[in-house]
Chain A
Amino acid sequence: MRILGYFLVITPLLLISVLLWHYFGFDYNKRYSDINNIVSLTKLNTLSYKVTWYEPRIRRFESNIYTPYPELPSAEKLNYIYGDMYAK
């Protein structure tokens, strides 16, 4: 009976204290603004370099963006850039 009693008392107490901690224990605004201020100061989001598992995917993704010989612009784009000259 005692073990069950421990469970019945400790689990809700633990849950309540964690919930209180979650809602009142942190100054979320300060934490987020600290991070945002550093990103605005350095203009560098270094977190992307630290998320190890994702790095190869990011690299692959970036190499997809990079095209050594850019594709020829479409007529629409040329039209936008240079006016009506190319559209005709």
Chain B
Amino acid sequence: MQNRLFLNYLLISLLKERSRHIGVVLLSLLLIFLLSSVLFISTSIQTTIQNAIKSEPDFVIQRVKGGLMVPLPLSWIDDIEDIRGISTIQPRVWGRYTTASSEPETMLIVGIDPLDPQSNRAFSKIMNQTDIKSFLDGNNMIVGSDIAKWMDMHYAKKSYRFLSLGGEFISVNRFATLPKSSNLISGDMVIVPLELAQKILNYDTQNVTDIILNVPNHAEWSNLKSKLEELHYDIRVVSKQDSIKAYKQMFDYKGGFFLALFMIVLLAFAMILYQRYTQVLSTEKKQIGILRALGWSVQDVLRLKMYETVIVIIFSYILAVTLAYIYVFIAHAPLLQQIFLGTDGYSGNTEWIPVINLPTLMSILLLYAVPYFSAVIIPVWRIAVTDPKEAML
């Protein structure tokens, strides 16, 4: 019975002070919403990258001139072939192509090797058909969904004429479009046979962008890297392990950066709340004094305020996180995604793969709840312990 009365009073007092509570809820909603959205995007990118790394080659070999990457001769493959322990060596041709129009679009031209069995397997999985021959027969291309949209708008529904970097026009038929779900990785991609990529990017037939190789025995990786580095003076060897390490460093750095920002915002938030509560409490002082005079103990008063605060915290937290989820994974985070991603060819039309990082979400709740809680409870406790007569004055 007593509990029912207590809860009834709690609801009435929540409602009486609704303008203040709604203000606090809106403020916390904005704070947690922004933080969770950033967190959702970064976790999603991190998970996607970690997943995509699995399919990456073990080593990438590049040629560097003055710190910049330059095409390398195919003859390097012969040098590498002599090293024992390497399972596959393949040339790769890729590069950026910018269209000559009033609104230039940048595409990533990627050449695929027709003789590679792994490419063939992946091709049949993506296209749901096994016939790679028809793709390799003529000048065909598979385009990412962003590029497909751009080509549709620019009257290139069946084929597109590339002006090769050598000044020659090459007409390429549109063979298929890549699925939209992989837009994050393939939105600006144009996949063509290797020789065609060489033509569009004006490469010599004997030149490629870089060379990839796989080494099945992981214990050999460091040894093999040093062997490769000894081959040429202008060689750059990037291993999969290096890129995994680099990504980890980047995400740790970025996570820390956002956490530091959040701490600052949270401190400001706690200060505002503290000030607000110490000011407003002059009216609330009377209320607490009356309650105390009616026979409420300090514990009861604190319990009332604690319940009030917990209700506000839980509602604003759940609402903010849910809204952030909807914003990022269902609405695809308009505006905010530009902070994370962007190159010349990036249209900002990305579908994120939903990932919920529960430990981080819980730590946000703790980081938010503790300062808020103390900003409310400490002033209330200070009044509650004073004499009711004094408090009502």
Contact = CB atoms under 8 A, between A and B. Distances in A.
A57 to B, nearest CB: 6
Interface string B83-94: 000000010101
Q: Does more than half of chain A's interface fall in helix, strand or loop, or is it mixed?
A: helix
A38 B340 contact: no
A46 B108 contact: yes
Contact of B56 (A11, A39, A61): A39
B343 A34 contact: no
Contact of A42 (B15, B189, B247, B329): B189
A44 B53 contact: no
B119 interface: yes
A34 B182 contact: yes
A26 B329 CA distance: 10
B366 interface: no
Nearest to A3: B18
Contacts, number: 169
Interface string B309-339: 0000001001100110110011000000001
Given A7-B315, A38-B189, A42-B110, A62 B341 contact: no
Interface of B: 11, 14-15, 18, 22, 45, 48-49, 51-57, 64, 67, 90, 92, 94, 108, 110, 112, 118-119, 121-123, 125-126, 178-179, 181-182, 184-186, 188-189, 191, 212, 223, 226-227, 229-230, 233-234, 236-238, 242-243, 246-247, 249-250, 253-254, 315, 318-319, 322-323, 325-326, 329-330, 339-343, 346, 353-354, 356
10 contacts: A14-B322, A31-B182, A34-B179, A38-B122, A47-B185, A54-B247, A70-B233, A73-B226, A77-B223, A80-B223
